[in-house]
Amino acid sequence: MPRAGNGKRGPDLPSFYANCAFEDRQVIGPMFTREAAVAPRRVSFFASRTLFVGALFALVLTSWQLLVGIQQIETVGDLAWFGAATFQVMAALQLAVAMPFAALLVSSAVALEKDRKTFELLLLTNLTNSDLVLGKLLAGMLVVVVMVAATLPLLMISALLGGVTTAQILRVEGVTLGSSFVAGSLGSTISLWREKTFQSVAMTALAIVLWLIAWEVVAATVPNASWLGHPANVWAMTMSPWQAMQEAARPMFSISGSSLADSDPVLLFLAMSCVWMLLLNGIAILRVRAWNPRQDIVPRAEEEPMNADAAGSEALSSSVNRIHGAGGKVRPVWDNPVLWREMRTWAFGKRVVVIRLAYWLLFFVCAAVAVSQISSGAAPERMIPAEAKPLVTLLVVGLILLNALAVTSLTSERDSRALDLLLVTDLTPKEIVFGKLGGAFYNAKEMVLLPAVLCGYLWGAGAITSENLVFLLVGVAVMNAFAAMLGLHMGINHANSRTAIAMSLGTILFLFLGVATCMRIMLAFTDSFENQFTTFLGFIAGGGVGLYVALNHRTDSAALAIVAGLAPFATFFAITTFLVGNFGSVFLVTVVTYGFATWAMLVPAIDVFDVATGRSSVREE
């Protein structure tokens, strides 16, 4: 390499890697080495960790402003209480962000290779099975690991306030990384097994939700039971990331038991995380070439007599039709062929039935929990009543799956180059957009109808009033429309499928996480919900900027700019009015805000329909 100052220009980074012996620079296989070299060139690699750490720091400042606004800090104990309270909020938020995004990024990375038909090319190289599986896993986990590592200095600084020890911080970081790697391994294994992107994302999301809910039920219903010599609550901490995080955030006052593992369930959880990672990745390494590529069954032609007469020609024609034509009775196509394909064919694969059955299982679990909460007469909680928490879980999972279904319905068309064919036909933008939306609602009908059924049961049991039932049903319908249209909007405006899926699901996840975090901070630090606008102004402004960047990519819509500026204020108002019990105002603000947001995304889609095809540039987003 030429020295600096000799008048010669040194080689750039790509040529540097091209001229070096590639095998000598590998760390964990060529796939991870390539990602580690390319990732620092993307702006998103630095922006993600910067924004996340900045959001956590803003959370600490907001909590401090709330605390000093209601009481005077006089003793060291007040600072220690504040440090412990903010640490527990940050630990829970870090887990809630890292775990689903690890599963999402790894799953979408593998699914994108399959949609673009490049995974089969990787199978033709001299890469081993472990290079393929572990390389894609670690490459997808790179952003999450860096983001979690970036939060460590902030957590260490917060420990200076008191109430938090270094051991607590290290245990929280360990639980977060262990949970993230298990979620990423699960997403990688399912994506290597399944062909369709929606199947991979949906199965991963449902598996994680069922995993968390199952152990929450165990911890809540049979905490004093003993299995294999250990209480049920210890098993829940050992197997559940959420239970392990709550245990890790608590201070360790003493060590009891015959061994350290017996006294600290966090160590047991980390050990079980290693077992799950080895099991999932081991299965994927053993089966990756058996699962891929998928072998299509081609019918064999029956031997026909090659006679020169008409009977022989007719027999030969019949044989050719059986080989090259679709079998079975010809079905008439509707006036909107896009909607017909989404509803009358297996456009999302036949394994979508498994996803529906898994959601039915989740519905029965949530319904059983709701019935037990109502029959036990649990004391009402200030934030969300105990009998309504299963409904919230069912609604959130349903909205996430509906959003994933909408965004993948368009990204899969683009990756398979079928979208180019749709754009040159005489189909109108209305037919394409409404066909995709109709197909998303049809294939997600369980996610739309089953929460309404649970709402009806709560009304029949007297848990909610008739007025609140109407508020719930109409509000859920508006949010379903918003989630579906958001997914289609992101699929239209992002040429990179992985970016589109991440932006779409990320917007939905941050919406729910932002609401839950704000509600928890309000309840933890103050009771004056009406006078907190100034304190949360930074959060509101940051949410507006983030929403503007997400919605206005490739567009210059004044309506979407209004949505980005209005939605955070409206959401904050809805939270405060909900906590004081004014449900009518919550309903009105939610319906107007998110109904207008849905309309603002729908009008450009059916009017302009400017689809990002990704052919103008080969640069990754």
620 within domain boundaries: no
Predicted pLDDT at 472:
92
- Percent helix / strand / coil, the chain, rounded to 5: 75, 0, 25
Q: Which amino acid is at 214?
A: A
358 with 265, same domain: the answer is: no
369 with 285, same domain: the answer is: no
CA distance 481 to 460: 26
Summarised one tens digit per residue, pLDDT across range 276-300 is 999 999 999 999 988 887 654 444 4
DSSP 8-state class, residue 161? G
* 16 pLDDT more than 50: no
Predicted pLDDT at 277:
95
Predicted pLDDT at 171:
93
Predicted pLDDT at 350:
78
Q: pLDDT confidence of 162, banded at 50, 70, 90?
A: confident
CA distance 536 to 574: 14
All residues at 6 or more sequence positions from 5 whose CB lies less than 8 Å from its CB, including other chains: none
The number of folded domains in the chain is 2
Summarised one tens digit per residue, pLDDT across range 481-525 is 999 999 999 988 888 888 888 889 889 988 888 888 887 777 776
273 with 398, same domain: the answer is: no
Cβ contact 411:115 at 8 Å: yes
Nearest to 554 by CA among 506, 621, 618: 621
Summarised one tens digit per residue, pLDDT across range 99-152 is 999 998 898 888 888 877 888 888 888 888 888 899 889 988 999 999 999 999
Rounded percentage of the chain residues whose pLDDT exceeds 90: 26
240 with 383, same domain: the answer is: no
5 within domain boundaries: no
471 with 379, same domain: the answer is: yes
Mean of pLDDT values over 203-228:
80
Cβ contact 609:429 at 8 Å: yes
CA distance 593 to 164: 40
Nearest to 134 by CA among 271, 45, 31: 31
Predicted pLDDT at 616:
44
Final residue before a domain boundary, out of 239, 271, 291: 291
Nearest to 111 by CA among 187, 28, 33, 205: 187
Predicted pLDDT at 122:
87
Predicted pLDDT at 257:
45
521 within domain boundaries: yes
CA distance 245 to 95: 8
371 within domain boundaries: yes
Predicted pLDDT at 621:
42
Backbone angles phi, psi at 327, to 5 degrees: -75, 165
**In terms of DSSP H, where are the helices of 494-557?**
497-525, 537-551
Element counts in the chain: helices (H) and strands (E): 24, 2
Q: pLDDT confidence of 437, banded at 50, 70, 90?
A: very high
Question: What SS3 class is residue 256?
Answer: coil
Cβ contact 236:225 at 8 Å: no
Final residue before a domain boundary, out of 291, 308, 341: 291
Residue bearing the bigger pLDDT, 247 or 326: 247
284 with 426, same domain: the answer is: no
Predicted pLDDT at 600:
92
499 with 400, same domain: the answer is: yes
344 within domain boundaries: no
* 2 pLDDT more than 80: no
* 384 pLDDT more than 80: no
* Domain encompassing residue 76: 31-252+260-291
531 within domain boundaries: yes
299 within domain boundaries: no
Summarised one tens digit per residue, pLDDT across range 242-271 is 999 988 988 765 444 444 445 678 898 999
287 with 406, same domain: the answer is: no
Nearest to 201 by CA among 53, 472, 334, 397: 397
Tokens encoding 402: 């509906």
479 with 574, same domain: the answer is: yes
Predicted pLDDT at 98:
92
Q: pLDDT confidence of 224, banded at 50, 70, 90?
A: low
* 20 pLDDT more than 70: no
Q: pLDDT confidence of 78, banded at 50, 70, 90?
A: confident
CA distance 48 to 44: 6
281 with 360, same domain: the answer is: no
* 344 pLDDT more than 80: yes
Rounded percentage of the chain residues whose pLDDT exceeds 70: 81
Residue bearing the bigger pLDDT, 398 or 538: 398
Question: What SS3 class is residue 217?
Answer: helix
426 with 533, same domain: the answer is: yes
Residue bearing the bigger pLDDT, 168 or 79: 168
407 with 536, same domain: the answer is: yes
Complete DSSP assignment for 586-602: HHHHHHHHHHHHHHHHH
- The DSSP H or E segment spanning 621 is none
360 within domain boundaries: yes
Residue bearing the bigger pLDDT, 476 or 257: 476
Predicted pLDDT at 1:
41
Average pLDDT over the chain, rounded to an integer? 80
* 303 pLDDT more than 70: no
For the chain, state the CA radius of gyration.
Answer: 27
